[in-house]
């Protein structure tokens, strides 16, 4: 190789990975901005869903959040969990935490709250049983929503990671126990840490895997909220 060309090639090879990473990060941000700007398509062909698809809880706000979560926080085609972290979740939800939680109040009969031990992302037997029961009760719904949280003990960074591990534990259980070929297209994951949309004690009356005699904010937020949502998008 020409001695003049060789150094130029070396510099180019060093520069290429950096340029590719910058491009990928820029493209990912652009995709999220594009998804958030998309209007709800009222004319798109609809899949036949369960009768609950026309229930009142399928508000415009819920449909918008669901579309953004499924597109921005869903799964990659390869099956790798992508999900949305706390700051991403705020952008996707585009609302205050209390308003975000209120969207799901009408789902109390279909949802489950999978509780974890303090500082743990391991599914306990009661949590695995409730998760399987909620997932098996699909009733024709098309979208499964997973929102993992952490209680405020510990650092913010640790709780982000812990809530991500809890979301991934839910996904791992579903992959292991259900032969669902559509799983990658059905599930939207959020992990919120302690930073966004903490649950209050009003959720203690929902189906929970934790001790029915013990429900404080720290218990209810060491959790993953799971529910089938059968809205027409």
Residue labelled with tokens 């303090």: 118
Distance of CA 231 to the CA centre of its chain: 17
* CA distance to 116, 119, 161, per residue, from 75 (Å): 23, 26, 18
- The answer to whether residues 11 and 71 belong to one domain is no
- The answer to whether residues 163 and 214 belong to one domain is yes
* In-domain check, residue 45: no
- The answer to whether residues 20 and 106 belong to one domain is no
Domain count, the chain: 2
Question: In angstroms, rounded to a whole number, what is the distance separating the alpha carbons of residues 211 and 104?
Answer: 22
Question: In angstroms, rounded to a whole number, what is the distance separating the alpha carbons of residues 55 and 230?
Answer: 9
pLDDT tens per residue across span 107-137: 888 899 999 999 999 999 999 999 999 999 9
Which residues are CB-contacts of 66 (< 8 A; sequence separation ≥ 6)?
143, 145, 188, 229, 231, 233
For residue 207, the model assigns a pLDDT of: 96
* In-domain check, residue 46: no
Mean pLDDT across 190-197 = 89
* In-domain check, residue 44: no
- The answer to whether residues 69 and 166 belong to one domain is yes
- The answer to whether residues 192 and 111 belong to one domain is yes
- The answer to whether residues 128 and 205 belong to one domain is yes
Lowest mean pLDDT among 159-163, 193-197, 215-219: 193-197
| CATH code of the domain in which 145 resides | 3.30.1330.60
- The answer to whether residues 29 and 70 belong to one domain is no
pLDDT tens per residue across span 36-88: 444 444 333 333 333 334 456 788 887 877 777 766 665 544 455 566 666 66
- The answer to whether residues 137 and 188 belong to one domain is yes
- The answer to whether residues 17 and 87 belong to one domain is no
Q: Is residue 31's pLDDT more than 90?
A: no
Q: Does pTM top 0.85 for this prediction?
A: no
Q: Helix or strand or coil: residue 83?
A: coil
The rounded mean pLDDT for the chain is: 75
- The answer to whether residues 151 and 193 belong to one domain is yes
Mean pLDDT across 181-200 = 88
Mean pLDDT across 218-224 = 96
Domain extent, residue 115, equals 51-229
């Amino acid at each position: 190789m020409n001695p003049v060309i060789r150094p130029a090639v070396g510099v180019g090879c060093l520069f290429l990975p950096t340029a590719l990473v910058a491009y990928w990060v820029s493209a990912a941000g652009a995709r999220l901005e594009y998804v958030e700007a998309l209007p709800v398509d009222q004319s798109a062909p609809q899949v036949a869903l369960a009768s609950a698809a026309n229930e009142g809880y399928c508000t415009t706000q819920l449909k918008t959040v669901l579309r953004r979560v499924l597109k921005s926080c869903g799964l990659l085609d390869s099956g790798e969990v992508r999900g949305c972290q706390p700051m991403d979740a705020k952008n996707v939800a585009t609302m205050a935490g209390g308003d975000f939680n209120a969207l799901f109040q009408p789902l109390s009969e279909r949802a489950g709250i999978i509780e974890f031990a303090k500082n743990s992302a391991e599914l306990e037997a009661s949590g695995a049983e409730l998760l399987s029961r909620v997932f098996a009760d699909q009733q024709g719904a098309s979208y499964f929503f997973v929102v993992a949280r952490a209680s405020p003990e510990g650092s913010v960074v640790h709780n982000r990671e812990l809530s991500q591990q809890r979301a991934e534990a839910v996904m791992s259980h579903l992959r292991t126990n259900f032969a669902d070929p559509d799983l990658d297209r059905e599930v939207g994951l959020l992990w919120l840490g302690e930073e966004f949309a903490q649950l209050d004690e009003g959720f203690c009356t929902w189906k929970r895997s934790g001790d029915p005699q013990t429900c404080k904010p720290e218990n209810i937020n060491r959790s993953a909220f799971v529910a089938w949502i059968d809205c027409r998008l």
